[in-house]
Amino acid sequence: MKMSRSFSALLLSLSLCLGGLLAALPAHADEAFDNAFGAYQARQYDSAFQQFSQLAAAGDNRAKSFLAMMTLRGQGTTADIHAGAALARACAEGGEPTCYAIYAELNLPGQGLPVDLELARSWTRKAIAGGDVRAGYLLWQAYQLDPANQYIVDGKTDNAKYNQLRHRVVSQRANQIEAIDALAGAADAGYAPARLMLSALLIEQSGGGTSEQLISLLDGNPELPEKFLNYLRLAQQVQSLGPTRAAPKLIVDALPAARASAARALAAAGTANVTQCKDFRLMSISNVTELTDGVWLPLTNALVTDTYPIRGRWDEQWKVFFCDGERVLNVRFEADGLGGADYRFSD
């Protein structure tokens, strides 16, 4: 039976999750296990599956983790998600840390089993507590894929849901806080899928100035997908402008409003043919104020600390070049409760 997959390219693949097992195995004194493991490494899957089956029947929980992995992959046996999930759960309940994350992921949407987000969270927490901080990526998925945390319904914004989510107080955001910190922990540990996912979050997250974190996550990776290479370039461009609390994507989104504000001011001052000017560009950002009446999401990982205000406002001055001259625009931002901000320019 073929396992279903989520369409998101950033979902933690089962092969990555399971592949970590091979690198993390300790040295084994057990000759039978070593022989089975050697067969697996040599891609002699039929022999490996048979040997692991015998070891599992004798109570070897490590062997059960390989049986779960091979059953899910269809290595040495027919691929069967339900049988693989049963093996993974038995292995997890037997205390094998690798199986905590395997079974947690299988309960997320898009894996072929009935979705059980609470079960996914529970086993992911055990994986993290057991030392597998990469599993923080799964905890973020459990949060992000939960319909209770989404306001896009059937491709459209549900305004009532949007307002309900953005006005949550800190005490109503325990899962969100846990999920972002866990994702940052996985990214901090160098887990590539988590680093990409966190950068996708930070590119839209305003309040703390996230360009530096984005650059630290993405710079130096020679195999960045084009989307994330663009994130890196944008973060570097924003950093060169000067300090800002606005997310890199928010700055891009606000440029048309900044241009319109500059055009209104020039027109009011008597400049003719303003609409013909095509030379608008943002030159620098300065005089960024502290967050007024700010309420921050209490995140603890250094990659995300002080990056997510759910309340508060701040001001910035943007120097722009337009119609053959420089002009300073004042802009006020107001945190929107969902990581972004609303903005208003004064001419």
Average pLDDT, consecutive stretches of 10 residues, N- to C-terminus, the chain (347 residues): 33 42 47 92 96 92 92 95 94 90 93 92 94 93 95 92 96 97 96 96 91 94 94 97 96 96 92 88 97 96 93 97 94 96 91
Instruction: Report pLDDT for 8.
Output: 33
Instruction: Report pLDDT for 317.
Output: 97
The two three-digit tokens of residue 191, written as one number: 């887990």
User: How many whole angstroms separate alpha carbon 313 and alpha carbon 330?
Assistant: 13
Give 284's strand partners: 319
Number of neighbouring beta carbons within 10 Å of residue 311: 18
User: How many whole angstroms separate alpha carbon 115 and alpha carbon 342?
Assistant: 35
Domain boundaries, given as residue ranges, for the chain: 14-132, 197-347
CA distance readout (Å), 128 to 74, 99, 295, 335 = 27, 12, 28, 31
Instruction: Report pLDDT for 15.
Output: 42
Number of neighbouring beta carbons within 10 Å of residue 103: 29
Instruction: Report pLDDT for 274.
Output: 87
How many CA within 13 A on the CB side of residue 48?
23
- 199: amino acid identity, one letter: S
Instruction: Report pLDDT for 148.
Output: 94
Q: Which of 60, 109, 47 is nearest to 87 (CA)?
A: 60
Query: Domain 14-132, CATH 2.60.40.1220 — does that match?
Result: no
Q: Which of 241, 251, 161 is nearest to 204 (CA)?
A: 251
The two three-digit tokens of residue 110, written as one number: 């898009």
Instruction: Report pLDDT for 322.
Output: 95
Give 268's strand partners: none
Residue partners of 338: CB distance under 8 A and separation at least 6: 162, 165, 166
User: How many whole angstroms separate alpha carbon 124 and alpha carbon 118?
Assistant: 10
**Mapping DSSP to helix (H, G, I), strand (E, B) and coil, where does residue 264 land?**
helix
Residue partners of 85: CB distance under 8 A and separation at least 6: 68, 72, 103, 106, 113
Residue that the structure tokens 């603890």 belong to: 300
